Amino acid sequence: MKKKMKNNYESQPQALRRAQEIAFQKNGHVPTMPESIVDRLNNLTGWHQEKATLSEEIVGKSGYGNQVVAISHGPALIGTVEDLEKAVRNPVRGTSLIPDSAASIGKNKFRRLLDGKLPSGDELPVYPIAELLSANHLNFPSRYIIVLDLSLAEKSESGYIEIQRLAEDALFTARIGSRQKALEYLGEAGRQYGTARYGNWHTLNHSDLSRPHGRLLILGGNAYAGIVGDSSIIEPVRFAVLPGKKPKAVHPLERIAFAAR
C-alpha cells in the first residue's frame, strides 16, 4: 500500500504541521483513531478518504521483560511534529520479511509510557486489554492508552479479514478504542463498502524487540486498506482536522494497574 507524493500527501512531520496549522485557523484539532471512527459513524461521510491519526501503536518490553503492545490514543511518543522529524531521520529499519521502517523509541520512554507517563510531564490513563473488552465498560476518556501482551496481539490476523472474525479480534478492538465502537463500526463498514471483509494490517508477528518501535495508525479509505498499522514511518500521509479544540492529557483520577509491569 505504497503512496506517491501527490494529492496532498506529504512526509509525516510535514503533513502533521500543515494539519495543525489548519486546525489552529479553524479552531479544530487533529483526531485520534477513535475520534476518526466516531466522526465516520456520526456523519456517514469520509469513508473513501484515507487519514493518518494521532493514535500510536508501539511495541517493546516492559520493565519486567514482558513483550507488550501499547496503543496510545493521543500524542505520546511519536505524535508530534518534532518526534516525527526525529523518527524520519533515524528510523528502525525493517527486516527482509517486513522492510517498512518504524519510529525508534527509547526503552525508558516506553516503560514510562506503560505507566501512563509522557515526556511532556502529562499523564494518560492506562487500560489493560481485558478492561477494554469488558461489555460493562463503554465509556473511555478522550485520551488514553491500551496495553496488551504481544502474544495476544500476534494472534490477530493481518490482512483482509472477514468482519465476523474481526469482531472478536483484540488488536482491532484496541485500535478502534472500545468494543462497542468496534462492533458498530464493522457493521457500518460492511454496509458502506458492500463487503463482508475489512482490512487490519500489522507487522507484530515479525517485530524485532531489541528496541521499542512504533507507527501511527492510519484509517484507510476503502475496505481493503481498513486499519493500517504496517506502513513505513517515512511514507507520505495526510491528516484530517475535526472541529473543536484538542482534548488535553490529564492526570488520571484512577490508576489502573497493568500486571505485566
Q: What residues contact residue 202 under an 8 Å CB cut-off, 6+ apart?
A: 57, 153, 156, 158, 171, 229, 230
Give the cell for residue 137: 465498560
Enter the DSSP assignment of 43: H
List Cα–Cα distances, 170 to 61, 69, 114, 150, in angstroms: 19, 12, 18, 11
Residue type, 140: F
Whether 250 and 123 have beta carbons less than 8 Å apart is answered as yes
| 184-230: pLDDT as tens digits | 999 999 999 999 999 999 999 887 778 899 999 999 999 999 999 99
At CA 26, angle to CA 20 and CA 28, rounded to 5? Answer: 60
Tens of pLDDT, residue by residue, the chain (261 residues)? 444 445 678 999 999 999 999 999 999 999 999 999 999 999 877 899 999 999 999 999 999 999 999 999 999 999 999 999 999 988 887 554 444 689 999 999 999 999 999 999 999 999 999 988 886 556 788 899 999 999 999 999 999 999 999 999 999 999 999 998 999 999 999 999 999 999 999 999 887 778 899 999 999 999 999 999 998 999 999 999 999 876 655 433 333 333 333
Whether pTM exceeds 0.85: yes
| 102 three-state secondary structure | strand
State how far the Cα of 83 lies from the Cα of 54, in Å rounded to an integer: 12
C-alpha 147/C-alpha 112 separation (Å) is: 13
Q: Select from 197, 200, 151, 196 the least CA-distant residue to 172.
A: 200
Pairing assessment for the beta strands 126-128 and 197-201 based on DSSP bridges = unpaired
